[in-house]
Structure 1
Amino acid sequence: MGGGGGPPAPGPPGGRLWPKEALARLQAAREAHLREGLPLEEALARVQGDFPAAGLALPSEGEALALLRALAERLERVEGELRALREENACLREALKALEPPVSEATLRRRPWWRFWGR
């Protein structure tokens, strides 16, 4: 399953720069994992044939699985944070509505102050 051409180039501190083909393979495996409920190992093996090495350094099976797991965990954390932020946003919007003064019929019928400029 590993590719040829040596290890990926060093990237930002603590990371590596993977070729686009390797990332596309990992993304396809993750999508198969989510869509079909396949274990990550099986999903990665399934997409193997769709992405020929073409001389590029692809992650080894162990590296790919570790990367997929790390990405899946990170995505779950981010999605959880997003859910929490959306819930907090909804609560804040409700709190703001409670602070707004009630609008009377007279206020609704009154002409806005800026309309006098359009005479």
Structure 2
Amino acid sequence: MDPTLYEPKEAARVLGVSPATLRRLAVLVEEVLHPLPRDAGGGRLWPEGVLGLLAEARRQAKEEGIPLREALLRAKEALGEGGASPLPPSVPLQTSTQEEALALLRALLERLERVEGELSALRAENAALRESLKALEAPRPRRPWWAFWRR
């Protein structure tokens, strides 16, 4: 693993927050900055630059009494003026991965078409059952329970 990328547990320890707080911060960071890179299992990885930027934004938010979102936006603007992005560039899909994704999409399309066919057949059957229900005669009204004593 790249030494500049931290797993969530390590990133939480570096920032001095709980893993739950780090998850909430991750949502904010991904909204304001850029999506965080993911590992093979889909878990977030924290670049060292993002951790530094987040720590600075948290310090600034605490000192100035501003929301963390605003502090992150300020840090992003300051970074845009004269610095490189703290996030690594996104890696495009490789050809084999694209072919696998295309095969998965085709299989998904086939299943979707089959399910839509089944759904239309069920709708037709439902409509036929409703029509046959209308043809049945209505049940006779029942006697009230107290009519037993009125013989």
Same fold flag (TM > 0.5): no
Length-normalised TM-score, structure 2:
0.32
Q: Higher relative CO (CA 8 A, sep ≥ 6), structure 1 or 2?
A: 1
Length-normalised TM-score, structure 1:
0.39
Q: Choose 1 or 2 for highest CA Rg.
A: 2
